[in-house]
Amino acid sequence: MYVTLEPCAHQGRQPPCVEAILEAGIGRVVIASEDPSEKAAGRGPGILRDGGIEVELAAGEEATAARLLNQPFRKHARTGLPLVTLKLAMSLDGHTVTPADSSPWISGAESQELVHRWRAESDAIAVGINTVLVDDPLLTARTPEASRQPLRVVFDRQARLPLDSQLLQTLDQSPVLVVTSSDADSDRRAALRDGGVEVIVADDIAAALAGLGRRQVTSLFLEGGRTLASAFLVAEAIDESRTFIAPTLLGDPGGGGGGTPAAALHTEVTTIGDDVLITARFKEW
């Protein structure tokens, strides 16, 4: 038997894996990565060896791949906090917001499809209140492969989330959790709770992540916007980032005279050392 994670020897959400392996009469188990949680930490392999099973621990590329595959579980097991992945999309001229009268998506259809798959793989999605007020997003995983919907988290210090937002109108699809500060208006917090939203009080990013971790959120997909991303960066809370650079020039999305957005006719992507060079052609003569 080949496993990516050390077989457990304790009763959790499922019965102990080692008991099933022993009962099945398997003679050799190859383990790609250890279980870092306190209640596991080597117990499983020891019990298997005592039961006469040959146990081998993988090394090299296989072990590295298994650790990367299990990053959310490993971080939560060690720290009690979720793994935070920041998703960014920007134009070639560095803008992360589209004009008010256009689609909020900067990236293309294939990238959008990939984002929905990432949402489905995450325990929770997080955005800031400004993103909700401007875009009124659903934040659901809209892909045929989605077998579950993530918890939708809004960082909303003053509890301004509108009660008629799409988030609250679709609670039957996925729950919503709002993170407010301790000085948020108590009536607004109560109104959100009455509307079916879970509200937690956290005055900084660390406290918010601890609260999510206690709710068994092991992976947090951070989607927007810039203020929230900056707050996570300052808190040194980002574990991974995934950045799309779209082949378009947006000028000034705020309407300050930056001109009409321009989409590239052709693009080339080249790796230069640790950098990515995107060459875009906007006109052909």
DSSP states along 82-118: -EEEEEEEEETTS--S--TTS-S--S-HHHHHHHHHH
Q: Are residues 180 and 61 in the same domain?
A: no
At residue 253, the pLDDT reads: 62
What percentage of the chain's residues is helix, strand, coil (to nearest 5)?
Answer: 30, 25, 45
Q: Which of 49, 69, 89 lies at the terminal end of a domain, its last residue?
A: 69
Parent domain of 31: 2-69
Helix axes 60-69, 71-79, angle to 10 degrees: 70
Average pLDDT per block of 10 residues along the chain, 285 residues long: 90 84 95 87 89 94 91 93 92 78 76 90 96 93 87 97 97 97 97 97 97 97 89 94 85 60 82 78 73
Q: Which of 69, 99, 126 lies at the terminal end of a domain, its last residue?
A: 69
The helix/strand/coil state of 65 is helix
At residue 283, the pLDDT reads: 67
HSE-up of 246 (CA within 13 Å, CB side)?
23
Is 74 inside any structural domain? no
* CATH code for position 106: 3.40.430.10
Report how far residue 137's alpha carbon sits from residue 132's, in angstroms, rounded to the nearest whole number: 6
At residue 255, the pLDDT reads: 54
Is 21 inside any structural domain? yes
Q: Are residues 212 and 153 in the same domain?
A: yes
Tokens at 197, concatenated:
């939203």
Q: Are residues 150 and 253 in the same domain?
A: yes
Is 63 inside any structural domain? yes
At residue 41, the pLDDT reads: 73
Q: Give CA separation, 89 vs 30, 31, 86, 153, in Å.
A: 40, 37, 10, 20
Burial of 153 (0-12, 13-18, 19+ CB in 10 A): buried
Q: Are residues 125 and 193 in the same domain?
A: yes
At residue 260, the pLDDT reads: 65
Report how far residue 33's alpha carbon sits from residue 47's, in angstroms, rounded to the nearest whole number: 17
At residue 24, the pLDDT reads: 94
- What residues form DSSP beta bridges with 267? 280
Q: Are residues 121 and 249 in the same domain?
A: yes
Q: What is the CA radius of gyration of the chain?
A: 23
Number of domains in the chain: 2
Q: Which of 47, 69, 91 lies at the terminal end of a domain, its last residue?
A: 69
The count of other CB atoms within 10 Å of the CB of residue 103 is: 9
